[in-house]
Amino acid sequence: MKIIADENIPCAGQAFASLGEVTLLPGRGMQPEQVRDADMLLVRSVTVVDRTLLQHSAVRFVGSATIGFDHVDRAYLQQRGIGFATAPGCNATSAAEYVVSALLVLAERRGFELAGKSAGIIGCGNVGSRVRERLAVLGMRCVVNDPPLQAQGGHDDFVSLDEVLRADVITVHVPYTRDGACPTHHLVDATVLRKLQPGALFINTSRGAVTDNLALDALLAERSDLSVVLDVWEGEPAINLPLLQRVDLGTPHIAGYSLDGKLRGTEMIYRAACDWYGLHGRWRAADYLPAGSVIDCTAPGDMSVAATLRAAVFSTYDIRADDARLRMTLALPAGEQPAYFDRLRKEYPVRREFSTSSVLVNDTAGGAERLLRGLGFPVIESA
């Protein structure tokens, strides 16, 4: 079996080697002639999988190691009888922890407490629900807008988009769609943006085109009271550089890029491929994950709850490092900027999830211990 895989899918070669010959290629710009003789295609979100790419190929199975599928023409795959699988929820924990890190940075910069603030969550699926859990742990009052999920029933706590927009923090976690009953292309447009409350904080980690980037840029030129965190951008990898200069934190589409989440995604599409071909797969992501670490938060004197929380979170994932790397784009010649954006993603440093970092705290740090455990950290009390 011949397998073509995006070179940015971690351990794709090791995982799929038992199923066939694996060739690793850059995902962006993958060409029809490169996949013509392939039996299996493994991609991430930067590869458009449609008739143009596959019509003359032998591909019988496509796996996307992502939670989204807006880059895949699923109707065409179904028409051709091509198997398809994604990795729903694989990086949801990582994306939720990205939001936590961003909020802690901005709370410290702007001098406010997260506890008691309201959070409006647009989209409450795999990622949004995890964000909601963590923000509740931090003492924030969460309201949710998700019309497709609301239509499925089973919950009665959904609110309108207008009510969500009255929150102190707005965070977006929807799939990208142009059609259907609830399209999300430019869901956050100029009209929606103008409804943000004074001093509001807006976060988008879903897809770039869910937010009208030009409208957001124009709004930020007028309103210095707003704080904005963007992980996703319209036109990636050629992003809006004036907008990057205006946002508080900007990162190169890496919110879900923990090693744990990426390997989880590899294992999910590996198992789906094995099921499709009726094979027994033995590869496990857990065998390729390094050991966790211990974070010492027992500094001389009692650390405050807030300081302990920041120390633990930033030791595991500090969003400011990703923001600094992306801002280096601004010093590059125009022709080199898109390639640099992609290189940041390809060469992304190893990042682990909170659950892999045990936090050593003083036995008097009861408030901090509760928050740390609620965010997923194992906690060790010092003697």
Q: How far apart are CA 251 and CA 327, in angstroms?
A: 8
The backbone torsions φ and ψ at residue 320, rounded to the nearest 5 degrees and listed phi first, read -65, -30
Q: Which of 173, 186, 253, 264 is catalytic?
A: 253
Residue 271 tokens, joined:
């198992």
Q: Which of 97, 234, 236, 369 is catalytic?
A: 236
Q: What share of the chain is helix, strand, coil (3-state, %, to 5)?
A: 40, 15, 45
Whether 280 sits among the annotated catalytic residues: the reply is: no
Q: Residue length, the chain? A: 383
Would you call 56 a catalytic residue per the annotation?
A: no
Token duo for residue 209: 């085109």
Closest among 348, 347, 336, 339 to 29, alpha carbons compared: 339
- Tokens representing 295 are 């974070």
Please state, in angstroms and rounded to a whole number, the distance separating the CA atoms of residues 163 and 143: 8
Residue in this structure with the two tokens 């070669």, named with its chain if needed: 13
Beta strands in 302-364 (DSSP E): 357-361
Phi first, then psi, for residue 318 (nearest 5°) are: -110, 105
Instruction: List, in order, residues 6 or more apart from 154 with CB less than 8 Å away.
Output: none
Of 13, 172, 107, 165, the closest CA to residue 310 belongs to 107
**Pair 219, 194: CB distance under 8 Å:** yes
In whole angstroms, give the CA distance from residue 331 to residue 329: 5
Q: In sequence order, which residues have a C-beta less than 8 Å from that of residue 331 and are 6 or more positions away?
A: none
Q: Which position among 207, 246, 351, 352 bears the catalytic label?
A: 207
> Measured between alpha carbons, how far is 372 from 354 in angstroms, rounded to an integer?
9
Catalytic (active-site) positions? 207, 236, 253
